[in-house]
Structure 1
Amino acid sequence: MSTTTGRPIGHLLRTLDRLIDERFDRTLVGRGVTRRQWQLLNALAGGPATLDTLTAAVAAFLDRSAGETARPHFDPLVAAGIVTGSGDTYALTAAGRATLADLAAEVGTIRTATVAGLPDGEYERTVATLQTMIDNLSPR
């Protein structure tokens, strides 16, 4: 099934994903943080967490078949003093909380630009529609 633009949904989703990644990369990498690290900082916003919990939080973006975990993404954050690690438990430092707050404001700008021009409720409806499609195609 094609959209009114004549492009299939897969093409549109990949294009949107690429554009979002590019925008995040420009914003985050300029601040010395990768997108995966951004996700992990957000996961730590609620308080300290174990490596297993944090790996699960970003599992969809890791190469789990190769055994990738969140650990290597923390090394630069620990070195920068943004995150502290004790054993397999990580937490934000005061500098990490400040960094997260600054980045959240910049990411908010990206999110606002992404949905600009959508009627009220359209974003939520689109997300619900995509989730239904995912559910339809997921193994049962």
Structure 2
Amino acid sequence: MQYSHSDADLAGQPIGYWAWAAHTAAVTHIRAGLARHGLSQPEWWVLNQLVGHAGGRDRAEVTDMLKGYLDTGAEGMATAVDGLLGRGLLTQDGGRLHITADGTALHTRCAALQKEMRARIHDGISDEEYVRTLKVLQRMIHNVGAPMWHH
């Protein structure tokens, strides 16, 4: 890949633009891949939280934990859960959500897809470069006093 600017020019570029552009490109790529399997990104998050939990998980706990992802909000997460329930990918027993066999199968396919998409997004980027980039972004977030909650 050829970069569009010299290092000196890049040092003066606005972080807001480049962070937005990277976010937009990555999220658009991920959402398009999931859409090919009939899933929205919030629905994927829900399935991912339920896989491996034979006893299910509390609906309020799952939606509360995920509501902050990409500004989805509580209403967006409730819509995602309701959509999965309506498609038979989840069941609900009282307040507990359970993933169905069809939901597990779809999760398995999309988990493999997620690995492929991550590999494409990270192509040509070493783990060291990626970690350094995240540390720089975390420092910038800290510098402006904004909260960081993703673990």
**TM-score, normalisation: structure 1:** 0.83
Question: How big is each residue's C-alpha offset from its partner over 1:14-67, in whole Å with a ceiling of 9 and x where there is no partner?
Answer: 111111121122111121110111111111124122122112321223454xx5
- Please tell me whether the aligned partners of residues 89 and 100 of structure 2 are also in contact (alpha carbons under 8 angstroms): yes
Tell whether 2:100 aligns with 1:93.
yes
Kindly name which structure, 1 or 2, has the bigger radius of gyration based on alpha carbons: 2
Q: 2:62 aligns with which of 54, 61, 68?
A: 54
Cα deviation for residue 138 of structure 1 reads 2.7
Aligned amino acid, residue 60 of structure 1: G
Judge conservation of contact 1:3–1:9 (CA < 8 Å) in 2. no
For structure 1, the residue ranges without an aligned partner over 5 or more in a row are none
Whether 1:24 aligns to 2:16 is no
Q: TM-score, normalised by structure 2?
A: 0.78
- Residue type at the aligned position of 1:56: D
Tell me the distance in 2 between the aligned counterparts of 1:69 and 1:109: 26
* Root mean square deviation of aligned Cα: 2.3
Aligned-partner SS, 1:24: helix
